Amino acid sequence: MEFDKNYFEAEVREGFYVTSDIKHAWAAQLEVLSDVDKACRENGIQYFAEWGTLLGAIRHHGFIPWDDDMDICMRRPDYNRYLKVAKDIMPKGYEIFDMNTDADNDNAIARIINGRNINCDGIHLEKFHGFPYVAGIDIFPLDYIAADEEDDKFQCDLIDIVWTVEKLARNIENKCNEINLEKAPAELELRLSQVEELCGVTVDRNKSIAQQLLILVDKLSGLYTEKEADYITLMHVWLGNKNYKFPKEYYRKEIRVPFENTEIPVPVEYDAILKIKYGDYMIPVHNWDTHEYPFFVKQKKHCIDEGTQFNDYKDTYNDYIQYKEQNSAMRKAKKIIKDFNGDTHKTVLFLSYKAENWNTMDNIYKKYCQEKDIKVIVQCVPYYYKNIDGTFEKYIDGGMYPEYVTITPIEDYNYVNENPDVIVFQYPYDNYNSAGTTDPVFYSYNLASHTQKLIYIPYFRTDEIDENDMRAYTNMDAYVTMPGVVYADKVIVQSEEIRKLYIEKLTDFFGEESEDEWEDKIEAEDIGGI
């Protein structure tokens, strides 16, 4: 699959900040889906977008901004067939992760993954768009509901019994602290005997009991066929919600709809399905599922712990204080030289990060323009996209600024030589961005050395973030604990609530001793923007 270079840049979608890491994760999953799609088409296996992927396809024409994973579903016959032949029809390197292949899997669903280990090999990174972590897609089996209510009740009761015993067995195998490990084996044996009698099976005590029981749950879920049913469901949901069912005809035909830079199949009756799932589904609601966000957080932490994670900002508070002291002395010397030369004019330099992001600078720009005896200069910062192989590709901004804003070419004004009194900038990442970078001369610590005051204004505006927006709060790490925020003398953010969150994030990152620094530096003001 091909992606534009700018696809991997962080962006704000519908008020939600999507990190560059998430963009790479999206691309990797779309690559997995592309291979699944090709294999399924060639082998007559039908699948559909499911859960947030289905909702995202219809409402957003891509990922829901606050979603990080992909889900698909298959009717039981297609599901069983795909699991049986996946090893043969999928490209080399893919694995099926389910209850049959892994004893530690505790879900009655399958997952197709692009490997079991973090992979920084160049070929792997090239294929999966610079994403080194394990990426995959969850596959949910659609099962038929018995037309006879008594048959349905018997099936559901049986699954409930087996699943309850499976959870007990798994807790014992994992030595869970929540159970009495002395009494549990005897209780498990009693319940196992009941399961064996009810289901006519034999459970091997020398193998993982939990795995065997989960496989049994899967078989019991697919007990009925299309001919014996009027409705279809996701069995693990149906067990607890008897409204979660769909006429089987809803999942017979598919249509393809736009999704990011490709198309994916959805049920032709997607509208009815989504209304049953979500009600008025076109109204965005930040509902979080139970998995950690982002899904690769543990993998990333492992890399950090092993010292193999690159491109992470790691300065300590002592590093910052040392730099601040050195820079303060440099600034005093430059001011003395300026005063000695009789240079009394004041210059404010705005360094814009792309024309499309000018709007957050506009308010403060107009304020400086209204002040007397101040020369205001605006320049557009050069930008470079990062390629997988470590090379860079220069970006030429073709955007349009407002008519009242005059852009001074980089070659016509050298801030290093001119030492403007104030520099206002928008790009916080310096080199700590997996998608791209500016010229190092425009890194924040260099800017701070050639001005008396460095002001940072984010190039984006998000929705307000409260304590329940854990995903939005998590993503703040990607733009708050960055050198541009740290080295600036003043940081202007969109609201008092966002200001408080900035201070909280920075204090967590640098330690309690740093809190007063951020309290003094960060201010709330209407930065404009959309």
Point out which residues pair with 12 in neighbouring strands.
17
Note every long-range contact of 272-279, with CB atoms under 8 Å and residues 24 or more positions apart, other chains counting. Answer: 272/246, 273/54, 273/246, 274/54, 274/55, 274/58, 276/243, 276/244, 276/246, 277/51, 277/55, 277/244, 278/55
Domain boundaries in the chain? 5-144+230-306, 317-524
Token representation of residue 190: 């009693």
CA atoms of 10 and 5, how far apart (whole Å): 12
* Whole-structure pTM value: 0.94
CATH class of 5-144+230-306: alpha beta
Instruction: Tell me if 439 sits within 8 A of 411, measured CB to CB.
Output: no
Interatomic CA distance for residues 482 and 506, integer angstroms: 9
Which value, to the nearest 10 degrees, does the dihedral of the CA atoms of residues 428, 432, 436, 440 take?
70
Look at residue 180 in the predicted model and tell me its pLDDT: 66
Question: What's the pLDDT score for residue 216?
Answer: 97
Place of tokens 């957003």: 60
Which residues does residue 140 pair with via DSSP β-bridges, in sequence order? 73
pLDDT of residue 181: 64
* Burial (0-12, 13-18, 19+ Cβ within 10 Å), 23: buried
User: Residues 53, 70: contact at Cβ < 8 Å?
Assistant: yes
- Residue 495: the pLDDT is 96
From the number of C-beta atoms within 10 Å of its C-beta (0-12, 13-18, 19+), residue 124 rates as middle
Phi first, then psi: give them for residue 93, nearest 5 degrees: 105, -20
Q: Are 244 and 238 in contact (CB under 8 A)?
A: yes
Total count of residues recorded for the chain:
530
Give the pLDDT of the chain (530 residues) as one tens digit per residue: 999 989 999 999 999 999 999 999 999 999 999 999 999 999 999 999 999 999 999 999 999 999 999 999 999 999 999 999 999 999 999 999 999 998 888 888 999 999 999 999 999 999 999 999 999 999 999 999 999 999 999 999 999 999 999 999 999 988 876 666 667 889 999 999 999 999 999 999 999 999 999 999 999 999 999 999 999 999 999 999 999 999 999 999 999 999 999 999 999 999 999 999 999 999 998 766 667 899 999 998 888 877 776 668 889 999 999 989 998 888 888 777 777 766 668 999 999 999 999 999 999 999 999 998 899 999 999 999 998 888 999 988 888 999 999 999 999 999 999 999 999 999 999 999 989 999 999 999 999 999 999 999 999 999 999 878 899 999 999 999 999 999 999 999 999 999 999 999 999 999 999 999 999 999 999 876 54
Nearest to 291 by CA among 68, 97, 133, 101: 68
Peptide linkage before 65 cis (omega within 30 of 0): no
**Three-state secondary structure readout of 473-495:** HHHCHHHHCCHHHHHCCEEEECC
First to last CA, the chain: 31
Which residues have a Cβ under 8 Å from the Cβ of 322 and sit 6 or more positions away? none
- CA gap 485, 148 in Å, rounded: 64
